[in-house]
Structure 1
Amino acid sequence: MSNASAQIIANPHYNPSEASHYRVIRRNGAVLPFDAGKIHIAMTKAFLAVEGGSGAASARIRDLVGRLTEQVVEALQRRQPGGGTFHIEDIQDQVELALMRAGEHEVARAYVLYREERARERARQQPEAASPGGIHVCYPDGNRRPLDLERLRKVIEEACAGLGAAVDLDAILHSTLKNLYDGISEEELFLAPVLSARVLIEQDPAYAYATARLLLDRVRREVLDEAATQAEMAARYPEYFREYLQLGIRHELIDPRLGQFDLDRIGAALKPERDLNFQYLGLQILYDRYFLHIRDRRIELPQAFWMRVAMGLAVEEIDREGQAIAFYEVLSNFDFVSSTPTLFNAGTLRPQLSSCFLTTVADDLDGIYEAIKENALLSKYSGGLGNDWTPVRALGSYIKGTNGKSQGVVPFLKVVNDTAVAVNQGGKRKGAVCAYLETWHLDIEEFLELRKNTGDDRRRTHDMNTANWVPDLFMERVMAEGQWTLFSPNEAPDLHDLTGAAFKARYEHYERLVDEGVITLYKRLPALQLWRKMLTMLFETGHPWITFKDPCNLRSPQQHVGVVHSSNLCTEITLNTNEREIAVCNLGSVNLVAHLRQPLQDDGTDLRNSADAGELLSYLDMDKLARTVKVAMRMLDNVIDINYYALNKARSGNLRHRPVGLGLMGFSDALLQLRIPYASPAAVAFADISQELISYHAIDASADLARERGSYHSFPGSLWSLGILPIDSIELLAAARENGLDMDRSARLDWDSLREKVRGGMRNSNCLAIAPTATISNIVGVSQGIEPIYQNLYVKSNLSGEFTVVNGYLVTDLKRLGLWDDVMVNDLKYFDGSVMPIDRIPAKLKPLYANAFETDPNWLIEAAARRQKWLDQAQSLNLYFAQASGKKIDDTYRLAWQRGLKTTYYLRSLGATAAEKSTVQTGTLNAVSGILKACAIDDPGCEACQ
């Protein structure tokens, strides 16, 4: 070894002890302890071979190789966090990936060529590898038994059954055998085929189903304590389900009332074949985070999980078995999925089923710390939080009790931030909170900078979200390039509760008091200057989000009993709050793609320019959608009565108003099945008609529930009681705006008869809200919420590990054209999942598969505006900018306001995207995938909702 090499290796950044419970399988079958130092040495040699060993180069290489070694070790450990074995080739793959992530392309190329040379040399020598016949398995009881190769083959064969020629049984088996060694544990044996199949998902999406079924075999072994094939589960499920309930009740995990159901009837309703409907990502997420367990051993199988949730939601029904089975049908068939807290906790002894909590913070020390305590209690039981901080007086304002001056809102938000970190959601997810502040608050400029990475860290909140609560008057001043005045709420206290014309009159009154010298604590600046700073911070930090106060209030069905002071963690909930009442919302989402009729074939049909709602309506199964929504609304309404409330203020508000938020997911999948590009008039029209149908049936179902169960307490005086539906409330907003409102009002269904029905009563104050569905969409294998395609091939990284995601619709199209091959896979990797630069892909397909950053954000606004007219709450809307400019961002957010949107969510730009680079077997260098940082794809905030 050269002196340079010795010097570089002397101070590695890795800690070998961290990997002491991992081992490496060599190509000859030998198993050795994992040694991160060997990775460090190998990369060092690769760098020295390319760059030489000069002093300056040595210093750079030493530091860089240390960091890259850490990355490789962390990536390997994420795949098997509990310890295990890695094949030597898997380690080398991760080394290549780390080199490319770091942009060290020449070093990576040299490493690839070296590996190929060594592979050719091994092929010439043909060393003898371990044979399956020489492999023994170590079982938990201490016995060693020969590998049952026939059973292994049968398990893989069963996993591949019905998936077509795209799935190669022998490829999975060969890769699995490569990762076995003599003395392998039973647990590692069950994991080996899963890991082997998982890496093939990028070759064909069908492998996602094969991998899920291999994981299912492992799960059944853990749950049943013995191996069982899928064919055997038809008989096993009912018996197992009864035993599972008894076990869960005995260990105080499951509500004993579930054991009082007619379990013969319930067991007969289970559908074991639906276990096969999962893709790998969905089942892995359920296994890691949703299935009940006793001392880390899972006791739930997928259909037991769905039925436990269904029974938990039906436990207080008169016909509890019948309703539980009806709930189970929509859940297990992926027609509708409840939000994550409901899936976590339904049927348990602590059924905290609600998704979102909105609070208002009082302007005194008791009220502030009471609000922080409330955050902690709500977060403890898996709730996402939205806090209205506008009442708290600004920096420098007078405090009568101490004759001193206030420190303002920001220091308290630092405490809120740290509380969210300290109190996670039941140990299952990070605590998540969003603070809202109105744009006239004197602390607004400092509030805008809370997420910056520079400045005084004591006045920064790196772990919480923030949002602007923007009155229409501010937007009118921006449009007119007028002046804007900032006040402390203790000197302008009623602005907090005023909207529309009343807000404008009172705001202008306070501006006159400033002119007269009565109010001395204020700041006046051009509205456009503040607006530009809001957009600049949004672009640079992703915060604060832009949400609009007046549309949320003037279109609220509940404006007769209070004010909407903020939205929630994901900006889709718009409910009243005050110091005495915490707003609660219970969420779930219809899987839109599951309610399409037969998808269009590639027969030349082109709907991209069609805005004919009647034609688009014909592609929806309206009868099925009506049935699903009816069942879903009953499930959501039941949550309110069954729910565990950590705070009485949340209980009283939820029981008084009974709001729910029915949303949707799979919108992009539905467009792809209909051959409609997201950026098209047809997509806007489809957003309109699909949301109109969901809205109609949700309102109708709530009116039916009111006839059966009675109206919610505060119904009298609501917009519902006046026969004013969401489509009608648009006029209330339009009347309050000086320049009117540019919002579509068209409708197709029989709303007149529904208005009359609604006048007779509603069970729920609010019915509709579109949440991000970050996790539940992954569980059922559809696109998230209303999002456009993120990428056509990417690696998703979350708490369950790293997963390759391939757009199955694109693969089907390319197969039909004879274009799906290894070269196409590598091209998609190289171009970060984009089809646009790939010449082989026909031009007519490219608009259909344009990703989020290739879709003009105005199309997202237009589609969202069509949905918004049907919603009594809001929607979680991300906006994507490939080449963001100040003018483009400005124009887009102005358009959102002009179109009557209530809220927006994250601003995504390619500048915040990290492109991971890797290599392929040919030795050419290609890009794997962009992974968004703090993204809706796997944002803890999003997951708090869904």
Structure 2
Amino acid sequence: MQTTIASVTRPSAVPPSQTDSPADNGGQWASYNIIRRNGSVVGFEPNKIAIAMTKAFLAVNGGQGAASARVRELVETLTTQVVNALVRNRPGGGTFHIEDVQDQVELALMRSGQHDVARSYVLYREKRTQERAAAAAAEGQEKAAAAPQEHVLNVTDAGERRPLNLAELRATIEAAGEGLAEFIDTEAILKETVKNLYDGIPVDEVFKSAILSARALVEKDPAYSQVTARLLLHTIRKEVLGEEVSQDGMGARYAEYFPAFIARGIEGGLLSPELANYDLTKLGHALNAKRDLQFGYLGLQTLYDRYFLHIRGTRIELPQVFFMRVAMGLALRETDREARAIEFYEILSSFDFMSSTPTLFNSGTLHSQLSSCYLTTVSDDLEGIYDAIKENALLAKYAGGLGNDWTPVRALRSHIKGTNGESQGVVPFLKVVNDTAVAVNQGGKRKGAVCTYLETWHLDIEEFLELRKNTGDERRRTHDMNTANWIPDLFMKRVMEGGEWTLFSPSDCPDLHDKVGQEFEKAYVGYESKVASGELKLFKKMPALTLWRKMLSMLFETGHPWITFKDPCNIRSPQQHVGVVHSSNLCTEITLNTNESEIAVCNLGSVNLVAHMKPAAGGGFELDHDKIKRTVRIAMRMLDNVIDINYYAVDKARNSNARHRPVGMGIMGFQDCLQMMRVPYASQDAIEFADRSMEAVCYHAYWASSLLAEERGRYQSYEGSLWSRGILPQDTLKMLRDERGGHVEVDESSTLDWDTLRARIKEHGMRNSNCIAIAPTATISNIIGVSACIEPTFQNLYVKSNLSGEFTVVNDYLVRDLKKLGLWDEVMVADLKYFDGSLSRIDRVPSELRELYATAFEVEPSWLVECASRRQKWIDQAQSLNIYMAGASGKKLDDTYKLAWKRGLKTTYYLRTLGATSAEKSTGRGGELNAVSAGGQSTAAAAAAAPVLPEPEVLGAVCTMRPGDPGFEECEACQ
């Protein structure tokens, strides 16, 4: 049966449009061909597509249904869509395989909601495939009986040719799929692997082909990521051990290889000779080979490329050896070193806790620079400025992330007494800082990274705001350096009140740099009085709201400078008795004192919350407090050990770290936990979980530091700290409210026994001035395969790019849910790709799943701020909080950052806004990929009608940074 399709005449080189019907068999399709399954090439006849679809309708609805006018119109529309999809990338003609055509027919039927018809079509295809396979098998058997033995594929191994051992290859692939059989198809991997081989191929390339074949299937099921990792592990073992070793044999081989690894690393000038003093036999037997199977492909490839030690390009570390090497390096000063090393190894290799990247890079090596973050204050003289730049280079060399406080440096046009001239201000020096960060790239492992902070009253602030712009004088731009505003509360109050703001040079008011709260306000108003009286000549006045709007405009346009708040960082600091917090760090989570003689240092690591969830009595999941307690106590000991073992490139850093002993324990996997508990990020339950989970981690961290103080002694500057006065982080909210005169709206509930902890700290003190900071965990969360720190899901399906290559990332929880509902298929994968990993417009997915798996840009930023506020209540430092905003506007930016200030946040990090080009996707009638549009207005029309930033005072392009974009993961230098 054939439907009647209107013919349209067009030149053969022009593809059909959305409005034209494609089913004409005339000369306009002469330049398009079809490859049939037998390899023959025939002309492209679109009307055959209509015939095939009509047969599918006939099979489901019978002759009457297929002949109806509605069905005829639908077939015509769907045929047009299929043809458009095929020829879109071949406007001048081309060739399609018959399978490609049939794939597009399936997609068109599914997207139009014709699921029964699509299912019939799929079953028909499968039946025909099986018939062809059976016929081919029978024919093959006949030929095999009559013909001589077919040529065997050979591989090259160590310069010699030998037949490919297909059974061995199949066994390796099947071993990689152990425990995953319900999710994967090992035969499909084998078939694709062999398909890409050629006679004489090096044997190593055979396994590379297997890795690539498994990797290509990750989008079908996340379990293929584990399979790919295990195939990669097979090649790593051969590189390290010199031969292929099965997973079953690795328990014995690990124990055998470990002492040899230590000897080889020391001889090669990589490892500290002190590692040879351990009982290596005991440690070797403690290695758990089964934990190699935990890795996903992204995690293991990242370790292989960037973390495993190598000699002249050949890796000498295996995963469990790597974790034990890190553990040994952290246990060097312990009394019972073997017991502690094993204890540290256990929480690292089980993925309960992960140390920061510098620690993983350098622990146990000759250059044990294990700290993540360094904060410096730059003095206002030429020698101090260039000393600071030199210190940046030395600290960055071994993977340190930098935060520089440049507020003391005098502003443009300030008088220079020594030369009787005028200063060029801060900006020219920042260009040098920028270029230094580029030049010192940590041996090619990753880019040097620095963030410069400037207080809002500095006379150079307006030019500082424009440092990341793509227009203007390039000599006054810093495209490779991060910037952040260091905002006093007085400025925010002036913004709220519509007041005026005055800019000064720090050379005229140097004390403002070291004053906070009401003392700052009193001194600042005093300088404004000097301006009014004519006593102070160098200044600029403007409405505070004008400067605030420019801050938000630049943040929106360039992603910088970040919004951070000076007074909460200081008023809530446990160490306010010994100095001032003048800036945060590269990723805005560290808030430590700095001055001209002290460089603040912080050592980081993160607890994997996912590993600390347990089944709840009433169903679902809940936090395992006993396990959190154990992990946190071990991890705090590891972090404290870093301080004494660490290599310090600068004496000012060593002295500061020894005196205050700050560490920064964070968390990761927050979003995973919400999805395990079936809690959407945009919900009150998520806010409560943020509160309770952070309370638990902080409670046990502070308790652990007090235990260490009892064992090892208090940190030197403990007396006079808030800890010594019985004031814990949550108590400082009242202090902040009193200093501000209000403007602090935070829930202050608690559930744990904080009074007992206060009493314990009063008796034994604290080992560490600071204990908690939530770093971005961009790389270490990749290693263990969980969501980064406190981030919402970026996309449910996307390709991630980093220094190790490109990786398909799929939300495992979502795939499992969709498979239970029978909704995980090629159409769903195609729709997720089309809608940038979002479910919101795929209406066949239940609404509760769309809510649960809402992506970052679908969660209102106020929810992110509210969750962060509950965490900040307990944290003695800060957190790296990215703000995601779709449909950004001046009002939305203003509301979000004012809310962050009122909710007591200390800092925020990147603003990530959705680009106009990716905000909406739509095709013509019938091609909406299950999309729904509210209000009856087409999505394309809605996108055209709604300006991204309606307020005239907020201008600029949209920041559209995504995972994999340059700069997206620069914060990994501090985690």
TM-score of the two chains, using structure 2 as the length reference: 0.82
Q: CA deviation at 1:171?
A: 0.5
Matched, 1:761 2:765: yes
Give the match for residue 389 of structure 2: 372
Aligned residues: 829
Specify which of 254, 258, 271 is matched with residue 241 of structure 1.
258
Runs (5+) with no aligned partner, structure 1: 1-46, 53-102, 606-617
Q: Is 2:352 the partner of 1:335?
A: yes
Q: Distance in 2 between matches of 1:297 and 1:320?
A: 29
In the superposition, relative to structure 1, how do residues 135 and 119 fare at CA in structure 2: closer, same or farther (>3 Å)?
Answer: farther
When residues 363 and 200 of structure 1 are mapped into structure 2, their CA distance, relative to the original with a 3 A threshold, is same
Q: What CA distance in whole angstroms lies between the structure 1 residues aligned with 2:253 and 2:823?
A: 43
Partner Cα distance (1:424, 1:301) in 2: 26
Q: Per-residue deviation at 1:146?
A: 1.8
Alignment partner for residue 832 of structure 1, among 830, 836, 840? 836
Contact 2:87 2:93 (8 Å CA) reproduced: no
Q: Structure 1's 205 and 118: CA in aligned 2 closer, same or farther, altered over 3 A?
A: closer
Alignment of 1:359-758 (within 5 A): 359-598=376-615, 619-758=622-761
Structure 1 CA distance for aligned equivalents of residues 867 and 235 of structure 2: 43
| C-alpha displacement of 1:120 | 9.3
Between the aligned partners of 2:526 and 2:426, the Cα distance in structure 1 is 25
Match of 1:862 among 866, 871, 875: 866
Does the C-alpha gap of structure 1 residues 432 and 916 become closer, same or farther in structure 2, counting only changes over 3 Å? farther
Q: 2:970 maps to which residue?
A: 941
- 8 Å CA contact 2:913–2:960 kept in 1: the answer is no
- Partner residue of 1:7? none
In structure 1, what is the Cα distance between the partners aligned to 2:760 and 2:871?
A: 23
What residue identity is the alignment partner of 1:300?
E
> Aligned in 2, Cα 1:485/1:560: closer, same or farther, shift over 3 Å?
same
Change (3 A) 1:191 1:822: same
* 8 Å Cα contact 1:209-1:278 kept in structure 2: yes
Q: CA deviation at 1:426?
A: 3.1
* Secondary structure in structure 2 of the residue aligned to 1:721: coil
- 1:297-330 deviation per Cα after TM superposition (whole angstroms, max 9, x unaligned): 1111100000000011001100100000000010
Q: Is the Cα contact below 8 Å between 1:600 and 1:673 reproduced in 2?
A: no
Counterpart secondary structure, 2:541 = strand
Q: Residues 161 and 104 of structure 1: is their aligned pair in 2 closer, same or farther, counting only changes over 3 Å?
A: closer
2:324 is matched by which residue type in structure 1? M
Aligned residue for 1:730, secondary structure, equals helix
Q: 1:116 aligns with which of 97, 102, 107?
A: 97
Q: How does 1:778-793 map to 2 (within 5 A)?
A: 778-793=782-797
Mapped contact 2:922–2:928 kept (Cα < 8 A):
no
Mapped to 2, the partners of 1:335 and 1:624 lie a distance apart of 9
In structure 2, give the amino acid aligned to 1:787.
Answer: E
User: Offset of 1:819 from its aligned partner?
Assistant: 1.1
| Partner AA of 1:768 in structure 2 | I
Cα gap change, 1:133/1:520 in structure 2, threshold over 3 Å: closer, same or farther? Answer: farther
Would the alpha carbon gap of residues 189 and 912 (structure 1) be closer, same or farther in structure 2, given more than 3 Å must change? farther
CA distance 1:51–1:326, shift in 2 (3 Å): same
Rounded Cα–Cα distance in structure 2 between residues aligned with 1:917 and 1:50: 24
SS at 1:211 equivalent: helix
Query: 8 Å contact 2:599–2:656 — kept in the other structure?
Result: yes
Structure-2 residue corresponding to 1:170: 187
Structure 2 CA distance for aligned equivalents of residues 655 and 237 of structure 1: 37
What is the rounded CA distance, in whole Å, between the counterparts of 1:317 and 1:466 in structure 2?
A: 40
Conserved in 1, the CA contact under 8 Å of 2:841 and 2:930? no
Q: Compute the RMSD of aligned alpha carbons.
A: 2.8
3-state DSSP of counterpart to 1:932: coil
**Distance in 1 of aligned mates of 2:848 and 2:92:** 39
The 1:106/1:508 distance shift into structure 2, 3 A limit, reads: farther
Output one character per residue of 1:571-598: Cα deviation in whole Å (capped at 9) or x when no partner: 0000000010100000000000110002
Take 1:813 and 1:49, find their aligned partners in 2: how far apart are those partners?
A: 45
Q: Which residue pairs with 2:129 in the alignment?
A: none
Distance 2:815 2:665 in 1: 32
State which drifts further: 159-168 or 765-774.
159-168
- Structure 2: any 5+ residue segments left out of the alignment? 1-10, 17-83, 103-131, 141-148, 932-958
Identity %: 66
Aligned equivalents of 2:345, 2:646: Cα separation in 1: 19
Shift of the alpha carbon at 1:600? 9.7
Q: CA deviation at 1:48?
A: 11
Whole-angstrom CA distance in 1 between matches of 2:832 and 2:150: 36
Shift of 1:795: 0.5
Distance 1:811 1:51, change over 3 A: closer
Q: How far apart are residue 179 of structure 1 and its match?
A: 1.2
Could you list the structure 1 runs, at least 4 aligned residues long, displaced by more than 3 angstroms after superposition. 47-52, 103-107, 109-113, 117-121, 131-134, 912-919, 923-927, 930-938
Q: CA deviation at 1:463?
A: 0.4
The residue type equivalent to 2:96 in the other structure is: R
Structure 2 CA distance for partners of 1:200 and 1:112, relative to 1, 3 Å: farther
Structure 1 pair 581/675, CA: closer, same or farther in 2 (3 Å)? Answer: same
Q: 1:427 Cα shift?
A: 2.2
Conserved 8 A contact 1:291-1:305: yes
- In structure 2, which of residues 323, 345, 363 is the aligned counterpart of residue 346 of structure 1? 363
Deviation at 1:918, TM superposition (A): 15
Cα displacement (A) at 1:186: 2.7
Q: Is 1:135–2:116 an aligned residue pair?
A: no
Q: Distance in 1 between matches of 2:631 and 2:212?
A: 36
TM-score, normalised via structure 1 length: 0.84
**Alignment partner of 2:602: what SS?**
strand
Question: What is the aligned partner in structure 1 of residue 272 from structure 2?
Answer: 255
Matches of 2:101 and 2:698, distance apart in 1: 63
Cα gap change, 1:875 to 1:218, in 2 (>3 Å): same
Alpha-carbon distance in structure 1 between the residues aligned to 2:733 and 2:515: 19
1:213 aligned to 222, 230, 233, which one? 230
- Asked if 1:777 is matched to 2:781, the reply is yes
Q: 8 Å contact 2:672–2:787 — kept in the other structure?
A: yes
Q: Distance in 1 between matches of 2:811 and 2:150?
A: 36
* Structure showing greater Rg: 2
Name the CA distance, whole Å, in 2 between partners of 1:546 and 1:884: 16
Distance 1:926 1:182 in 2: 46
- CA distances 1:44-74 after superposition (whole Å, capped 9, x unpaired): xxx994489xxxxxxxxxxxxxxxxxxxxxx
Q: 1:340 to 1:445 in 2, by over 3 A?
A: same
Counterpart Cα distance in 1 of 2:351 and 2:345: 10
Match of 1:272 among 289, 292, 299: 289
In the alignment, what sits opposite 1:19? none
Partner Cα distance (2:87, 2:650) in 1? 59
Counterpart Cα distance in 2 of 1:719 and 1:105: 68
Residue 699 of structure 1 deviates from its aligned partner by 0.3
Give 1:138 shift: 2.1
Correspondence for 1:813: 817
Residues 595-636 of structure 1 deviation map (CA, whole Å, 9 limit, x = unaligned): 0002799x8x8xxxxxxxxxxxx8111100000000000000
1: distance between equivalents of 2:636 and 2:904?
Answer: 26
Provide the residue aligned with 2:330 in structure 1: 313
For residue 220 of structure 2, give the secondary structure of its aligned residue in structure 1: coil
1:852 matches 2:856:
yes
Would you say the 8 A contact 1:916–1:931 is kept in 2?
no
Determine helix, strand or coil for the equivalent of 1:191: helix
SS in 1 for 2:444: coil
Report the CA distance shift for 1:933/1:181 in structure 2 as closer, same or farther (over 3 A). Answer: same
- Structure 2: distance between partners of 1:932 and 1:226: 43
